[in-house]
Amino acid sequence: MFGRSDLGIDLGTANTLVYVRGKGIVINEPSVISINVDTGEIVKVGAEAKKMIGKTPSFIQAIRPLKDGVIADYDVALAMLSYFIGKAQESFSFFKPRVVIGVPYGVTEVESRALLTAGKEAGAKKVFLIEEPMATAIGAGLSVEEPQGNMVIDIGGGTTEAAVISLGSIVNATSSRIAGDEFDEAIIQYVREVYRVTIGVRTAERVKIEIGNVYPLKEFDELQTEIVGIELSSGLPKKLTLTGGEIREAIRPTAMQIAETAKATLEKTPPELVADITERGIVVAGGGSLLKGICELLEKETGIKVVRAEDPMSCVAKGAGMVLDKMDILVRLKSVE
């Protein structure tokens, strides 16, 4: 019998979410940790560390230890995971938790082993890995154990994953390392090329959230936001006003690559399951699903109704926690204890 300290974790490139059974999402913070490079001391973790990006003195580094959904810096990722697991079980620390961690589809054996080991070293009693599309589908409330086709598209910070699920398993999936980070990079490149002004990642992310859109609607064209960057020619600050129309042109090619990921998955799907998906629709989740016009674009490109999950940011963490009650699926997951 699983105890109340069991956790579901979405260890994302951009954000980490922790779900506690019986309590829901208890942590939702950026996957960032700041470290004093001279002493190795952890300065801040999560939201406070993210505020330091681009603003630290030379002896402090703000690091994102995950890239494309997998560990890029093991020691830093371990420190961050330990912090979040400890914080999540502050009120019931007598129990070592069983932990289910969401991983990108098609993650390598080496990457899987790194996550399993990190989870154990971070204080878990037993660690399971669940592929993110399956966790997304469970967290979105889809009937994944039934003999019918369900399709999900999870647009995260580092990866986009489109998958078809039936009878508790992934029938086929396509994983792409084109996701939220690439939208930010496209905005940075656009401002640099068109205005000869350089901006940082945090500014680009704010522009994406405020006026980013990928479908031609008049209401999106009229969106505006102000930014401040550094003019390349003078090295001095310059204020700009960006519009929704121009940002759409900047990021639409990235969005079309995500649409291609969805289409590639549908092309590999048996006709009977495609018929189910056409009837039920495609569910999108992840932070990228909040981008204005993304559902409309995917619907136009696939010809299938597309709906956003009710709580798109938390689907992976919630699904990872909920799978502990689905023994038929749980026994097939990679694990270590």
| Domains in the chain: ranges and CATH | 7-135+316-336 (3.30.420.40), 143-178+255-311 (3.30.420.40), 180-251 (3.90.640.10)
Confidence of residue 23 (pLDDT cuts 50, 70, 90): confident
Confidence of residue 330 (pLDDT cuts 50, 70, 90): confident
pLDDT of 58 reads 86
**Pick the residue with more confidence: 336 or 189?**
189
Confidence of residue 92 (pLDDT cuts 50, 70, 90): low
Q: Say how far apart CA 331 and CA 145 lie, in whole Å.
A: 14
Query: What pLDDT, in 10s, does the model give residues 127-156?
Result: 999 999 999 999 999 999 999 999 999 999
Residue 124: pLDDT over 90: no
DSSP symbol at 244:
H
Q: Residue 106 corresponds to which amino acid?
A: G
Mean pLDDT calculated for residue range 159-172: 95
Mean pLDDT of all residues belonging to the chain: 91
Q: Say how far apart CA 285 and CA 9 lie, in whole Å.
A: 16
What is the percent of the chain where pLDDT is above 70? 97
Mean pLDDT calculated for residue range 288-303: 97
> Residue 35 is encoded by which pair of tokens?
């470290």
Query: What pLDDT, in 10s, does the model give residues 200-253?
Result: 999 999 999 999 999 999 999 999 999 999 999 999 999 999 999 999 999 999
Confidence of residue 91 (pLDDT cuts 50, 70, 90): low
Minimum mean pLDDT range among 25-29, 201-205, 250-254, 323-327: 323-327
pLDDT of 1 reads 39
Q: Say how far apart CA 164 and CA 172 lie, in whole Å.
A: 6
DSSP symbol at 292:
B
Half-sphere exposure of 284 (CA within 13 A, CB side): 27
pLDDT of 334 reads 85
**Pick the residue with more confidence: 108 or 319?**
319
Residue 4: pLDDT over 70: no
Pairing of strands 126-131, 334-336: antiparallel
pLDDT of 3 reads 47
**For the whole model, what pTM was predicted?**
0.89
Contacts of residue 156, Cβ cutoff 8 Å, sequence gap at least 6: 12, 13, 14, 69, 132, 179, 180, 286, 287, 288
Burial status of residue 138 (CB atoms within 10 A of its CB: 0-12, 13-18, 19 or more) = buried
